[in-house]
Amino acid sequence: MSAVAQIVASCASESGLSDALDPFAPTGSLLERFARNPFLMAPMAGVSDGAYRIMARLGGAALAYSEMVSVTGIHYGSVKTWELVLPNEFEPDIAVQLFGSDPNHFAEATERVTSELGNKLVLIDINMACPVPKVTKGGGGSALLDEPLLAERIVRSCAGATQVPVTVKIRRGRRMGEEVATEFSKRMADAGAQAIAVHGRYASQMYRGIADWEVVRRVADAVDVPVIGSGDVRGAPEAVEMLRSCGCAAVMIARGTYGNPWVFGQSRDLLRAATAITTIPTTSQRIQAFCEHVRVLDATGAHMARGRSLAGWYLRGLPHAALWRGEATSCTTLGDYMDLVRRLEAEVKPHGGR
């Protein structure tokens, strides 16, 4: 049994996460996977490492994505780039998101990722949505929304280099008032994209303002491939509402997963039962899930500084949460975090937890 498997087995009953129904069951096509469970963990730069993906899958996510992976980094054999690609042995499968602007690099990266990951690779996703300048300056991310011909070449180059589905993630448009999502999606589907993920903001909005879900509906009505909705899905009610109101096949949950891996199971339960959410984690379960996540973080070899963000997310709303977040900023080792957990259990649970 791997180190991660041992951690999961020892924490399962306390965190309430591995009770999710069949979270690792394999399925066939994307449509079959989405029909069975349409709630996906979105790719998030600096967040969706192996530990984060594992926790999401334990919480019931149908699929979890890698962080953005540079095709140029793969071309030049960057070890750090490959660390973003390779799943932990405990992960059942993974979706890998690539970014860049060179069709040849995309083809090379797709072929190498496919070969390296084998049957653990569910799909290759092409990022055409990221608004961050360091990505768009190189012609990648949302800059491709201005270059549909180049975007088509990239999709074709990837589709010709792998047998797994190639998908794209886009935004409403690059600049406010210049919506291109529907026509752009049609072109990507014609080029070979087997699913389109649509975020309802313009790239120029970054993450400000409100995501327009109607653009998701417009794209879903216009293309014959599955559409994945994205944007402002904070919890299970929004996830189910987007799925039902936008005509999409699946929903990506990003910031709504912060400190809340239960959101996937909650969304699935709400979709099936159409009743109020009953699987709300207790204070004890939140503390134990934080403990489990940090232990998995350590077991997967990630930098332990990431645990500081996790503390802020998992402990939000607890008594004296700001104090505990401050305590976490000085944690550098697994032992530091475990000491924090012990003090949380001794001081928080007796006064505010079940």
Q: How far apart are the first and last CA of the chain?
A: 31
Q: Which of 11, 130, 248, 331 is catalytic?
A: 130
Q: Is 130 known to be catalytic? A: yes
Tokens of 204: 């120029």
CB neighbours of residue 209 within 10 Å: 13
Q: Answer yes or no: are the C-beta atoms of 143 and 171 closer than 8 Å.
A: no
Active site residues: 130
